[in-house]
Amino acid sequence: MKKVGIALLGLGVVGSGTYRILESKKEKIMRDFGVELEVRHVLEKDTSKAVALGIDLSKVSCDIENVVKDDKISVVAEFFGGIEPARTFLLAVLKAGKSIVTSNKELFSKHWPELEAAAKETGAGIYFEASCGGGVPIIRALHESCQGNDILEIKGIVNGTTNYILSNMSEHGSDYAETLKEAQKLGYAEANPSADVDGFDSTYKLSILSSLAFNKRVPYTSIYREGISKVTIDDIKFGKEFGLTVKLLAISKNVNGKIEAHVYPAFIPDDHPLAKVSGAFNGIYVVGDNVGELMFYGKGAGDLPTGSAIVSDIVYAATRAEHRRYPFILEAEAQDFNDDFVSEYFLRLTVKDETGVLSAITGILGKAGISIDSMVQKAGSNGKATLAFVTQKTTELTFRKALSELEAAPCVTEINSVIRVEK
């Protein structure tokens, strides 16, 4: 039976979960896939983590050279997160001809071309199933199960922290700040939550998914990004009146050969499959020209769900005679992006409570060629009222121009909220 040496770089939450799966499923993997996986080395400075897992301390060090120089190690799984030292270590093992497995979406989205170039030189493999949805098997599905399709659209909830926050706000009526504190207490959000709530994490993941889906390099810097901190309980309540649910969506589309890629909070119809993805779960909705609609759903983080995807990649890498290449990643980044995309919009305004206001606002929108699909009006106090609209489809630039005119209108006291609507 083929025996394959493995190295684990780090024994944090996911690294420890991966080791436990490798040990508990060792016999199953041998029986089902004909390969014996042996963890030969672990890079970890906190040896108590290794002791807790029953790992022989003779296999534990802080020196990457112990991995690079071990000819019996052929697959290396990285769990450090961040850019360094992960980037330096992974480049070193790739140049030594060892395949890598990672869930590090920031590193991968920023340095994929560099990693691919190093892997190409030695024929090593790069595997990253766990980078874009934890335990959700989306990566291999895109590049190995959809060959008979052009992917037209990806629409995903790929960050469990923001989905937990927005789900709680919707279900329990808590405001954003209160719900964020609760998420931090439960361990769903970091002390500094910016990577999640400001959309960076989702942007890195969308860069990877879009590049795979469209076979073009879609850098994270070309993706429009907004976070969820401006979403309020009032927005959620009005959305419910329109039959809409708010989610932080990672969206990419291939529209007439041009790529549209965005991360932002968006309303979706209550009956859309993604509207039912609650709590810290992830959901990724894919449309192919032949297969139609596909939905991938599952736990987007955690020791065992993410470890499950890591182990899947380790087994896959260990059983390949030849590894997949991604030549489009070494080419120039895609230039055919469309920033003036089409969307519907939710718009909430505080206005003067007087005759002619509604006519003035609809006149501004109508002049721009923007039609209103639905509207709710709420009486306020102090001579003010609230108007909430959902527009019909228009372009981003057209809507922004109309929004500027609304801001200048004497009857408008404040533009409270603008959220895109995906139907």
Q: Which residues are catalytic?
A: 205
Q: Alpha carbon 184 to chain centroid distance? A: 19
Q: Letter for the amino acid at 1?
A: M
Q: At what angle do helices 13-24 and 26-33 cross, to 10 degrees?
A: 60
Q: Which stretches of 173-241 are DSSP H helices?
A: 176-186, 194-197, 200-214, 233-241
- The CA-atom distances, in angstroms, between 203 and each of 194, 195, 214, 304 are 12, 10, 16, 24
Cα dihedral 191→192→193→195 (10° resolution): -140
Count of CB atoms within 10 A of residue 169's CB?
22
Nearest to 280 by CA among 422, 133, 141, 176: 133
d(CA 408, CA 216): 41
Nearest to 15 by CA among 64, 76, 61: 76
d(CA 6, CA 123): 17
- Phi and psi torsions of 132, nearest 5°: -125, 10
Nearest to 112 by CA among 123, 92, 96, 126: 126
DSSP symbols for 366-393: HHTTPPEEEEEEEE-STTEEEEEEEE--
Phi/psi zone of residue 357: left (φ > 0), alpha (ψ -120 to 50 degrees), beta? alpha
Tokens representing 58 are 């003779």
